[in-house]
Amino acid sequence: MKFRPLHDRVVIRRVDEETKTAGGIIIPDSAQEKPQEGEVVAVGPGARGDDGKIHALDVNVGNRVLFGKWSGNEVTIDGEELLIMKESDVMAIIDKKSSKKGKKAA
């Protein structure tokens, strides 16, 4: 099934967290919290501004993002659990690029 979110909504697939601690202790499923990190699967065309024009979203398909613990609505599409939320519920885009020594962060 193909789907496209409307307006400024994004569809996110949660990214599984590690089930081991740094010390090697395995965390049971019952003690794990749902991850607050995910990958953007689909994005809507954008929000309509006061001027009537559609303003594109800052997130794109494939971005890794952080979102709030209670953000979005859980849905199951083709047997896969996904989250649908407004772009404003996304707190940050995770940039996995390595920074070079001597460069200052902007």
The letter for the amino acid at 20 is: K
**How sure is the predictor about 52, in pLDDT bands with cuts at 50, 70 and 90?**
confident
Question: What whole-number distance in Å separates Cα of residue 52 and Cα of residue 32?
Answer: 44
Residue 17 has pLDDT above 80, yes or no: no
CB–CB of 66/91 below 8 Å? yes
**Range 9-18+34-94: architecture per CATH:** Roll (2.30)
Q: If you average pLDDT over every residue of the chain, what do you get?
A: 79
Of 7, 14, 10, 5, nearest in space to 61 by CA:
10
> Taking 70 as the threshold, does the pLDDT of residue 33 lie above it?
no
What are the boundaries of each domain within the chain? 9-18+34-94
